[in-house]
Structure 1
Amino acid sequence: MPAILFGSISTIADTSELQRQAFNQAFKAHGLDWDWHREEYLTMLENSGGQNRIADYADSIGQTVDAETIHRSKSEFFQNSLTESQLQPRSGVVETIQSAKIKGLKIAFVTTTAQENISLLMAALHPIIQVNDFDLITNADRIDRPKPDKAAYTFALEKLGEKPDNCIAIEDNLGGLESAISAGLDCIAFPNQNTAHHDFNRAKHLVDRLDFDDLQKFLASNSNKRSSKLYSNKL
């Protein structure tokens, strides 16, 4: 059975600016005069891992900080913003999920964020998008190695009982794209507000909205390639 695998939170609802604002709130709370402007933050997003970004930035300006503690505060600010903001699903996401369920496709949310972030996201989007819309939801506690490592997608494929060529991943950042490709998946790049300028040339396709009919065509193409390969092996 084909499956559509959503990657990070911002493939479902664009929280990229909420994330940046939460970093700046955390810096202020810890007495730092750092202020990550949007232009600066866009470049940082080319690499995965918020705690790593804090540590790398501190090194770049010659400061020593407790990156883990600051990142924990950032997560708290971000979680508060998920509760307070009026989040909306991204363009085409609801229609894609609904159509996939009608057609009998599996839907997974393959993220390595904290479970609390996922719970708050689902609460903010309820009832438009609900937990039971997904056949599988991963989180940081279930995955040993975060993206861009392939572990999240390898785990998801195993739990879903699917092969990579029977699925398609949807990712909004380069780390997620690398993770999906490393796991053998074709990936649709669906950049968020702050990753739109990144180079997604390794993606199967680049879109600014999801269209279920197009996703079906990619899945069908993969299925045809698989059938042709099996036929060739038999000859």
Structure 2
Amino acid sequence: MTAILFGSISTIADTSELQREAFNRAFASHGLDWQWGQEEYAEMLATSGGRDRIAEHARSTGADVDADAVHQTKSEIFQQLLGEADLTPRDGVVETITAAREAGHKVALVTTTSRENVMALGRAVADRISFDDLDLVVDRTQVEQPKPDGEAYTFALAALGEPAGSCVAVEDNLGGVEAAARAGLSVVAFPNANTAGHDFERATARRDRLELADLQSFTQTA
């Protein structure tokens, strides 16, 4: 194995419930009486894209909504919540990153969320993980197509100078798993609180805790 590619901010720290809270606060801010419960939100996460979820919900309810404006408010609230929350990295993440770097493996974050969200998470977990130590951080500004398109991973592999067969991706949602698979990567599903009920049939494996030796076993080169 030559590189581990973390595929979303929620593979580092589980932010899924903060995301849902941010959506609900944004709805209230825009005068909408929507409240997404956890079960409903979990079902929505089968597809990628917060802005698209807002637009689809508006269509299904017949509401006239500026999805872009609501999503921008949601993003601002989410970043504020990240700054206030006592976030801890997910099980095995710190140990895996540390062990990977000690073994000479590259570590990257390959997401298609906004740069502002990435920076906000980086600040929230800075006492345990420094994003400055990562070999690469990919965000929405660097690619044309969001996941489940494989562009972000293709871009990352080229930037790292690594073949897909020697790298492993870690993803917490179906769109991310699909994106990694399209790029030819082995991908370990690492579900968050709201995607645990999803069927990750495209994933190479599914784990609730990360370990370097385990991830190494899914690539063509240990």
Measured after TM superposition, the shift of residue 10 of structure 1 is 0.3
| Aligned match of 1:128 | 128
Q: Deviations over 1:11-51 (max 9, x none)?
A: 00000000000000000000000000111101100000000
1:24 aligns with 2:24: yes
| Aligned match of 1:103 | 103
Measured after TM superposition, the shift of residue 61 of structure 1 is 1.0
* From 204, 220, 223, the counterpart of 2:221: 223
Cα distance in 2, alignment partners of residues 148 and 27 from structure 1: 26
Measured after TM superposition, the shift of residue 133 of structure 1 is 2.3
Q: Give the letter aligned to residue 92 of structure 2.
A: G
Cα distance in 2, alignment partners of residues 39 and 214 from structure 1: 31
Cα distance in 2, alignment partners of residues 167 and 22 from structure 1: 33
| Aligned match of 2:177 | 177
Structure of higher CA gyration radius: 1
For CA contacts below 8 A with separation 6 or more, give which structure has more relative contact order.
2
Measured after TM superposition, the shift of residue 217 of structure 1 is 1.9
Give me the identity figure in percent: 56
Measured after TM superposition, the shift of residue 212 of structure 1 is 1.0
1:210 aligns with 2:210: yes
Cα distance in 2, alignment partners of residues 129 and 3 from structure 1: 17
Cα distance in 1, alignment partners of residues 193 and 204 from structure 2: 20
CA contact (8 A) 1:136 1:160 kept: yes
CA contact (8 A) 1:97 1:133 kept: no
Structure 2 unaligned runs (5+)?
Answer: none
Helix, strand or coil for the counterpart of 2:5? strand
* TM-score (norm. length: structure 2): 0.98
Q: Which of the two has greater helix per residue?
A: 1
Cα distance in 2, alignment partners of residues 32 and 191 from structure 1: 30
**Which structure 2 residues correspond to residues 29-68 of structure 1 after superposition, within 5 A?**
29-68=29-68
Measured after TM superposition, the shift of residue 127 of structure 1 is 2.5
Q: Deviations over 1:138-192 (max 9, x none)?
A: 1111111000000100000000001110100000000000000000111000000
CA contact (8 A) 2:2 2:221 kept: no
Cα distance in 1, alignment partners of residues 82 and 68 from structure 2: 21
Structure 1 unaligned runs (5+)?
Answer: 225-235
* TM-score (norm. length: structure 1): 0.93
CA contact (8 A) 2:140 2:146 kept: yes
CA contact (8 A) 2:42 2:195 kept: yes
| Aligned match of 2:91 | 91
Query: Any runs of at least 4 consecutive aligned residues in structure 1 with deviations exceeding 2 A, and if so which?
Result: none
Q: Give the letter aligned to residue 2 of structure 2.
A: P
| Aligned match of 1:233 | none
CA contact (8 A) 1:83 1:120 kept: yes
Cα distance in 2, alignment partners of residues 85 and 223 from structure 1: 38
